[in-house]
Chains A and B, each alone.
Chain A
Amino acid sequence: MNDVIERIGELLSTLQSPDFYEREVAVKELGSFTSNDEAVAGLVMALEDADLGIRELAADFLVKTKGPIASQLLIRFLGNEDIGTRNLAAEVLVRIGKEATPALIEDLATNEDYDVRKFTADILGLIKDERAVEPLVQRLWDENMNVVCSAAEALGEIGSPAAIPGLVAAFEKMEDVRLPAVEALGKIGDKSCLESLYDWLKTDDPMILFAVIEAIGALGNAGSAAQLRPYLEHEDRTIAEAALGAIIDLSRQNEGRIDFELPLDRFVDYLFEGVRKRDPRLTEFTLRRLNHWYGRDVVSHMVDVLDDVEDEALGRLIETLAQIGNSAADMLLEKFAAASPKVKGVILDVFKQVVDENIARALLRYADDEDPDVRQKIAHILGMSGLAEATEVLKGLASDPIGHVRSAAYAALGWLGGEELIEFLCRGLDDKYPDVREAAVGALIIINGQRVVQKFTEDLYHTEVERQRLAVNALGLIGDAAVVPPLINAINHPEAAIRKSAILSLARIREVSDVQPLVVALNDESASVRKAAVTALLQIEGPGRLDECRYLLEDEDVWVRYHVINAVAEYGTADHAELLLRYLDDPQDIIKIAVIKALAELRYVPAVPKLSVLKDERNQDVIDAATRAVRAIQGR
């Protein structure tokens, strides 16, 4: 024990050392003796150390002690002449928290220095311990007004209704305490002070009136809105806006309910400034009202805040503008020229939903906007509008230096339609970017017609395979009777991918009078073409063609065999099922499983004995499939 005391004594001496490291080590070691009052005193002393790091280290140890001695010693520093030391002591007391309350309460009542009493009141407010309420209420009658005001503020922070009578009495008796007292009542939020607050609305002091209105709003009593209503017309804008803000607070706390019409047009600037500053209560309130509040001034403000709002609010504004529709178009066009690229994009998104020829005509002049995303959107809108005058502008955009603008321009020209555009659109097929080439293909698909089919038929034999691919794809998507002959011819195309694509397109189109080329394709050198031919034959002609495909059950390619087995499952009968039985012995498990599933699909009862034998297979997937198949066939 003596050794400890002796060591602490040494450490306290070391705190005076000029060597930083020695002092730091001493503080750390003192921090391990926090049950000892001398050690705690040493840590408190270290709060005055010249080095910030040591002061903060000592503060951290003191926070951990939480003992009354630490608090008592720290309170002495609240009167320290050095503001840094004073603030550090206050911060440590706040961090100690409710353990420090008794010492602070005693100091609040007894300290002769009014600055310290004020400081103590502030700290008690931050600690928020209800034990401090009564002592703080007593300080509402302190001889020093700074202490009184701090006590009122602290009572607001603590939020106990027990403080209300004292705060009300202080308001009535002392002019200087009125503002913090009202603010405190607002923070306490208890409705028992409502009548007093209503009474104080009669004040001539605008600052107090502002605070009273805000406090009434904070209390959340739905009936208070009627008391605040006259102030919406107050000549002082700040007061009127405070009244609206308070009514908004009341409505938020009462499921949006307000029993009278608000003169919102008076507050357009205020509300949208709140939206712009991302004030959550004003933003929510304003956006909710936009469904039935959208005069010209409002639309103008909506556009003005588009640059500043978060994504959710932006989405709601766009939705609202689109719902308002063409009646907002003039205002949006007015704002367009001077808008940022982001806002231009938003305006164009709205126009996309409401575009008519007038809007399109007005947008023609902006087709050379410096932002490519804007040019892209304008191209789409012009295409959607059906405005014939847009054709030349879109042709210009089809030569834009940016690929996605050219792509949009070609697509839009397709929407505008007209066979006279075919030659121009074909130029897009030579573009260096694939998305532009695809857009040109898409445009030609929409325009369609004999010349388009002829163009793509020629392209089936273009020197570039990519053009062949685009052509066969386009013919398939055009999908009418005119494309059947070129697609039939393409079954003999030198490229397997083209043959396959042509066959699958024919499968979808179905209007094929002569399927013999497809029957021939069952012998194609490419497995994927053979599979496509099976699909096409069955889709076009139905199950009657299954017999012509059955020899492919012996195909050299496992995936062709697999495909035919699945086709048997989809189109076959019991006769076909019998054919499959022998493949239950196939060396490939994937074929075995496909056959098992096909037999189950066809509900082929004679397969049950062979399927039952498969329970001795090594592959669990085969066993599981066979078990499920037997159950399915037996109707279990």
Chain B
Amino acid sequence: MEIKSRQEGNVTVLNLQGRLDLASGSVLKEEIKKLFEQQRNSVHLNLADVEFINSSGLGALVSIMKEVRLQKGRLTLSNLASYVQEIFDITQLSHIFEIFATEQEALGSYQPVTAN
């Protein structure tokens, strides 16, 4: 799987391309761990070019989400193909993940809050 990274304001956007399985899921987890080390804990995953995701790939996403919560960060997803949406629906992970139809909508949802 290919991962292209770019920065949009405070949000790191990762465009994933290919198959998300055990091996590529580990690569993705490592990539995101590096982001957290750089204090970049607002992450958006654009899944438009993810053609396959299996249980292990899903497990990687759940693991990433748990790590994001520990880091008090935020993870959003967009552009889920119907097959990917199906697996999110049957596992009800759509209740856990913030899923947007488009990357633009997802990025628009990141509103900074001024300190108290």
**Chain A residues at the B interface, C-beta cutoff of 8 Å:** 291-295, 319, 323-326, 352, 355-356, 380, 383-384, 386, 407-408, 411, 414-415, 438-439, 441-443, 445-446, 448, 473, 477-480, 508-510
> Which residues from chain B contact A352 at a C-beta distance below 8 Å?
95
Cα–Cα, bound, A478→B95 (Å): 20
B11 CB–A CB distance under 8 Å = no
B48 CB–A CB distance under 8 Å = no
CB of B62 within 8 A of CB of A446, answer yes
CB of B54 within 8 A of CB of A477, answer yes
CB of A442 within 8 A of CB of B66, answer no
Cα–Cα, bound, A479→B56 (Å): 8
CB of A442 within 8 A of CB of B22, answer no
CB of A442 within 8 A of CB of B113, answer no
Main secondary structure on A side of the interface with B = helix
Cα–Cα, bound, A294→B21 (Å): 43
Which of A291, A411, A480 sits near B22, CB closer than 8 Å?
Answer: A480
CB of B96 within 8 A of CB of A384, answer yes
**Between-chain CB contacts (< 8 Å), 15 pairs:** A292-B113, A292-B115, A293-B116, A295-B116, A352-B95, A384-B96, A411-B92, A443-B91, A445-B91, A446-B59, A448-B55, A448-B56, A477-B87, A480-B56, A508-B52
Cα–Cα, bound, A478→B90 (Å): 12
Closest Cβ of chain B to A65, distance in Å, is 60
B6 CB–A CB distance under 8 Å = no
B34 CB–A CB distance under 8 Å = no
B93 CB–A CB distance under 8 Å = yes
Return the chain A residue nearest B88 by Cβ. Answer: A442
> Which residues from chain A contact B90 at a C-beta distance below 8 Å?
438-439, 441-442, 445, 473, 477
Cα–Cα, bound, A601→B95 (Å): 42
17 more A-B contacts (CB under 8 A) besides A445-B90, A480-B56? A291-B114, A292-B113, A293-B116, A324-B113, A355-B69, A380-B92, A380-B95, A380-B96, A383-B96, A408-B92, A415-B93, A442-B90, A442-B92, A445-B58, A445-B87, A477-B86, A478-B54
Which of B21, B66, B91 sits near A479, CB closer than 8 Å?
Answer: B21
Closest Cβ of chain B to A317, distance in Å, is 14
Return the chain B residue nearest A452 by Cβ. Answer: B55
* A-B contacts, CB under 8 A, total: 82
CB of B54 within 8 A of CB of A479, answer yes
**Chain B residues at the A interface, C-beta cutoff of 8 Å:** 21-22, 52-56, 58-59, 62, 66, 69, 72, 83, 86-87, 90-93, 95-96, 111, 113-116
Which one of B66, B69, B87, B92 has the greatest number of beta carbons of chain A within 10 Å?
B92
Return the chain B residue nearest A475 by Cβ. Answer: B55
Return the chain B residue nearest A352 by Cβ. Answer: B95
Closest Cβ of chain B to A277, distance in Å, is 26
Cα–Cα, bound, A439→B93 (Å): 10
CB of A445 within 8 A of CB of B55, answer yes
CB of B55 within 8 A of CB of A478, answer yes
Closest Cβ of chain A to B1, distance in Å, is 14
> Which residues from chain A contact B62 at a C-beta distance below 8 Å?
415, 446
> Which residues from chain B contact A292 at a C-beta distance below 8 Å?
113-116
> Which residues from chain B contact A443 at a C-beta distance below 8 Å?
91
Cα–Cα, bound, A323→B112 (Å): 8
CB of B52 within 8 A of CB of A479, answer yes
Which of B69, B87, B95 sits near A356, CB closer than 8 Å?
Answer: B69
> Which residues from chain A contact B53 at a C-beta distance below 8 Å?
479
Return the chain A residue nearest B66 by Cβ. Answer: A386
> Which residues from chain B contact A479 at a C-beta distance below 8 Å?
21, 52-55
> Which residues from chain A contact B96 at a C-beta distance below 8 Å?
380, 383-384, 415
Return the chain B residue nearest A298 by Cβ. Answer: B116
Closest Cβ of chain A to B114, distance in Å, is 4
Cα–Cα, bound, A438→B89 (Å): 10
Closest Cβ of chain A to B27, distance in Å, is 16
Closest Cβ of chain A to B68, distance in Å, is 11
> Which residues from chain B contact A473 at a C-beta distance below 8 Å?
90
Which one of B56, B59, B62, B91 has the greatest number of beta carbons of chain A within 10 Å?
B91
> Which residues from chain A contact B66 at a C-beta distance below 8 Å?
386
CB of B111 within 8 A of CB of A446, answer no
Cα–Cα, bound, A193→B21 (Å): 74
